[in-house]
Amino acid sequence: MAAAQVIRSEWTKIRSVASTVWTLSLAVVVTIALGMLISALSANGFDGMDPRQRLSFDPTLISFAGMSLGQLAMIVFGVLVVSNEYSTGMIRTSLAAVPQRGGFLAGKLGVATALALVVSMATAFAAFFLGQAMLGEHRASLGDDGVLRAVIGGGLYMTLIAVFSMGVATMLRSPMLSLGILMPFFFLISSILGNVDATKKIGRFLPDQAGGRIMRVVPPLDDDTPYGPWGGLGIMVLWVVAALAGGYLLLKKRDA
Amino acid sequence: MIELEGLTKRYGEKVAVNNLTFTVRPGIVTGFLGPNGAGKSTTMRMMLGLDRPTAGDVRIDGKHYDRLRDPLKYIGALLDAKAVHGGRTAFNHLLCLAQSNGIPRRRVHEVLDTVGLTSVAGKKAKGFSLGMGQRLGIAGALLGDPRILMFDEPVNGLDPEGIHWIRTLMKTLAAQGRTVFVSSHLMSEMALTADHLVVIGQGRLLADTSMADFIARHSRTYVRIRSPQRERLLDVLHEAGLTVVESGGATLEVDGTGAERIGELAARHRLVLHELSPQRASLEEAFMRLTAESVEYHAHSDAPAPPQQWGDGWKRD
């Protein structure tokens, strides 16, 4: 009853601001378009690759190449959904209407997560099919071993990135602070930590490095990652749960 | 009915609200008066369960705020007119509030009509003037048709027409038997709207009294006299057993008698008067006297500014 009211209210909130539409459409367009571009370039470059590179050629993963940039739009979506309330002062009006803070947060994040999931899944499938179309003879098919898992995983990955951002924004409240931490972290720091030998062992337990594993169908040569695709996604889920728990505890305790 | 019991809020060393106990009753407008920084807004936020009290308790119709089911149906509040997402239309802003408390959509149209915003219902709130924002906030407070209404400084920054509208609205709501609690830092404003007064200073309760009582007790009437024969006049007045206050220059103030008696006394002793006028100290002065010791940020012209803790400037009051 009360939960349904909060969900209806949060749905009205999310659909009635422009930022929802532009962040999500940017995520879709960037992920698909960049994926298609890189797929087309890879198809052209295939002949020039050495045999080792050809062995680890992963057409599914290549069609998701746009996600590295598209996820930034998902981060903005996740951050704005939460921090809009704080930057406008709306949070006081909202909490006066729904004083049960746990229920309020669950309703808000539930609605935003459901929306992100639908958009992410559609994006993942679209990016896969359009990317494969660009790859021509080197393409993978949805029926191939592990491919369907990777595509669904891609949708889950994008969703989890958004939810993680919502959790962080709930803790930090300020949109500028949240974006200032999340954007460079996911765009630069994480991939640096994950690719430099010295920090690789830690870097691969970061949410995006671990979660991204599920989008791989062909493992890289000399792969020594200590977790599989679902294990990696599980690690990412733990990060998300931690961010949400932190956000919940702070919201519960803090003066609005 | 709102009941406060020993309500206290501390931010570190600083006590923002200090052991407040009072009751806000239905059917009248209760004014919540105090200088800037006295703790009015903090008290109101605690009433709505937004800030957690350090000690003490607030009950709305006998219940804690977060125990209320669909709280907008019990108590409607206007805290800050700018607490609205500017990108959302007035209608959608009210709709999301209504939905969260199971209030039907047609009620949104009704309150928009009540506050006179129907024509801009589809406009984004960021384009609203201060007065329109205030009206939107009041529409939100009225949404659940609540028995209790709370307004924090509702006339701040409004034009005379808007002020008049809000005053009339508050009186109408109280006349319908609702509890109306309104804060202000202007005594003159309260004198026109409130039936009952709760005065605080530096977070402490200074007065909890009916408006009529407050006026009777605090508004001093006196007679002001100016005379070139000041010394002789003083003697005459003293002989007649009157209390005289010498206020700067040639002016005297006499309490406890009418201008007629003083005029007659002066005539009998052939004294020249340049002024003989009955005076009434304004409620504003009475309020200033009452809160004088507790005003936190005096605008002293001679004394240095009171010592401030680092960070005081950005703390919400």
Nearest CA in chain B to A96: B48
In chain A, % of residues over pLDDT 70: 100
Tell if the CB–CB gap between A95 and B49 is shorter than 8 Å.
yes
| pLDDT for the residue numbered B298 | 52
With a CB cutoff of 8 Å and minimum separation 6, the contacts of B31 are B182, B183, B184, B190, B193, B194, B196, B197, B198, B211
The whole-angstrom separation of Cα A215 and Cα A209 is 11
| pLDDT for the residue numbered B301 | 45
Q: pLDDT tens, A50-99?
A: 888 888 899 999 999 999 999 999 999 999 999 999 999 999 999 999 99
Residue B311 pLDDT exceeds 50: no
Q: Are B52 and B217 in contact (CB under 8 A)?
A: no
Instruction: From chain B, pick out residues whose CB is under 8 angstroms from the CB of A92.
Output: 45, 48, 50, 79-80, 83
Residue A20 pLDDT exceeds 80: yes
Count the neighbouring beta carbons within 10 Å of the beta carbon of residue B10: 14
Amino acid at A184: P
Q: Are A256 and A99 in contact (CB under 8 A)?
A: no
Chain B, window 226-245: residues with a beta carbon less than 8 angstroms from a chain A beta carbon: none
Tell if the CB–CB gap between A18 and B87 is shorter than 8 Å.
yes
Tell if the CB–CB gap between A97 and B79 is shorter than 8 Å.
no
Among B2-6, B234-238, B271-275, B294-298, the range scoring the smallest mean pLDDT is: B294-298
Count the neighbouring beta carbons within 10 Å of the beta carbon of residue A72: 21
pTM: 0.86
Residue A199 pLDDT exceeds 90: no
Nearest to A227 by CA among A197, A207, A198: A207
| pLDDT for the residue numbered B296 | 52
Chain A residues touching chain B at CB-CB below 8 Å: 1-2, 5-6, 8-10, 12-13, 16-19, 84-85, 88-100, 255-256
CA distance A181 to chain B (A): 24
Among A16-20, B4-8, B123-127, B250-254, the range scoring the smallest mean pLDDT is: B250-254
**CA dihedral (A45, A50, A53, A59) positive or negative:** positive
Phi, psi of B183 (to 5 degrees): -100, 155
Closest CB from A12, A100, A256 relative to B50: A256
Count the neighbouring beta carbons within 10 Å of the beta carbon of residue B302: 4
Q: Are B22 and B208 in contact (CB under 8 A)?
A: yes
How do strand B204-210 and strand B251-255 relate by DSSP bridges? unpaired
With a CB cutoff of 8 Å and minimum separation 6, the contacts of B190 are B31, B33, B184, B197, B211
Please give the angle made by the CA atoms of B222, B223 and B227, to the nearest 5 degrees: 145
The whole-angstrom separation of Cα B29 and Cα B309 is 36
| pLDDT for the residue numbered B95 | 97
Query: For residue B140, what are its two tokens?
Result: 């939100």
Which tops the pLDDT comparison, B301 or A19?
A19
Task: Note every long-range contact of B43-47, with CB atoms under 8 Å and residues 24 or more positions apart, other chains counting.
Answer: B43/B4, B43/B7, B43/B9, B43/B17, B43/B200, B44/B77, B44/B79, B44/B150, B44/B152, B44/B183, B45/A92, B45/A255, B45/A256, B45/B79, B46/B7, B46/B9, B46/B17, B47/B2, B47/B4, B47/B150
Residue B99 at interface with chain A, using a CB cutoff of 8 Å: yes
Query: E-assigned strands of B74-216?
Result: 75-78, 148-152, 179-184, 196-201, 204-210
| pLDDT for the residue numbered B293 | 65
What is the biggest distance separating any 2 CA atoms in chain B, rounded to whole angstroms? 79
| pLDDT for the residue numbered A26 | 97
The whole-angstrom separation of Cα A115 and Cα A172 is 22
Residue B77 pLDDT exceeds 70: yes
Closest CB from B69, B77, B85 relative to A90: B85
Chain B, window 137-176: residues with a beta carbon less than 8 angstroms from a chain A beta carbon: 140
Closest CB from B50, B52, B96 relative to A96: B50
Which tops the pLDDT comparison, B155 or A103?
A103
Nearest CA in chain B to A107: B100
Q: pLDDT tens, A162-188?
A: 999 999 999 999 999 999 999 999 888
Tokens 């709505």 -> residue: B48
| pLDDT for the residue numbered B304 | 45
Tokens 């998300």 -> residue: A240
Tell if the CB–CB gap between B100 and A84 is shorter than 8 Å.
no
Residue B316 pLDDT exceeds 60: no
Residue B79 at interface with chain A, using a CB cutoff of 8 Å: yes
Helical H segments across chain A, by residue range: 2-15, 18-45, 51-55, 59-63, 67-88, 90-97, 101-135, 147-172, 175-184, 190-195, 197-203, 207-212, 229-253
| pLDDT for the residue numbered B307 | 45
The whole-angstrom separation of Cα A126 and Cα B139 is 45
Nearest CA in chain A to B140: A93
How do strand B2-11 and strand B55-60 relate by DSSP bridges? antiparallel
End-to-end CA distance of chain A: 25
| pLDDT for the residue numbered A1 | 55
pLDDT band (50, 70, 90) for residue A5: very high
Amino acid at B45: R
Return the number of CB contacts < 8 Å for A and B: 93
Closest CB from A85, A91, A93 relative to B97: A93
Which tops the pLDDT comparison, B212 or B281?
B212
Tell if the CB–CB gap between A17 and B89 is shorter than 8 Å.
no
| pLDDT for the residue numbered B230 | 86
Tell if the CB–CB gap between B49 and A96 is shorter than 8 Å.
yes
Query: For residue A80, what are its two tokens?
Result: 């704005």
Q: How does DSSP classify residue A48?
A: G
The ipTM estimated for the assembled molecules is: 0.91
Residue B305 pLDDT exceeds 50: no
Which tops the pLDDT comparison, B86 or B247?
B86
pLDDT band (50, 70, 90) for residue B255: confident
CA distance B50 to chain A (A): 5
Nearest to B264 by CA among B302, B228, B223: B223
Amino acid at A141: S
The whole-angstrom separation of Cα A242 and Cα A88 is 26
Closest CB from A16, A89, A99 relative to B66: A99
Nearest to A79 by CA among A170, A213, A193: A170
Tokens 């002989």 -> residue: B239
The whole-angstrom separation of Cα A20 and Cα A114 is 13
Nearest CA in chain B to A98: B100
Among A148-152, B96-100, B234-238, the range scoring the smallest mean pLDDT is: B234-238
Mean pLDDT along residues B74-88? 91
Residue B84 at interface with chain A, using a CB cutoff of 8 Å: yes
Query: For residue A183, what are its two tokens?
Result: 């954007």
Nearest CA in chain B to A13: B96
Closest CB from A10, A19, A97 relative to B71: A97
Tell if the CB–CB gap between B140 and A93 is shorter than 8 Å.
yes
Mean pLDDT along residues B151-164? 88
Q: Are A120 and A67 in contact (CB under 8 A)?
A: no
Tell if the CB–CB gap between B68 and A16 is shorter than 8 Å.
no
Query: For residue B56, what are its two tokens?
Result: 């003490």
The whole-angstrom separation of Cα A50 and Cα A64 is 22
Instruction: From chain A, pick out residues whose CB is under 8 angstroms from the CB of B52.
Output: 255
Residue B281 at interface with chain A, using a CB cutoff of 8 Å: no
The whole-angstrom separation of Cα A8 and Cα A108 is 10
Residue A140 pLDDT exceeds 70: yes
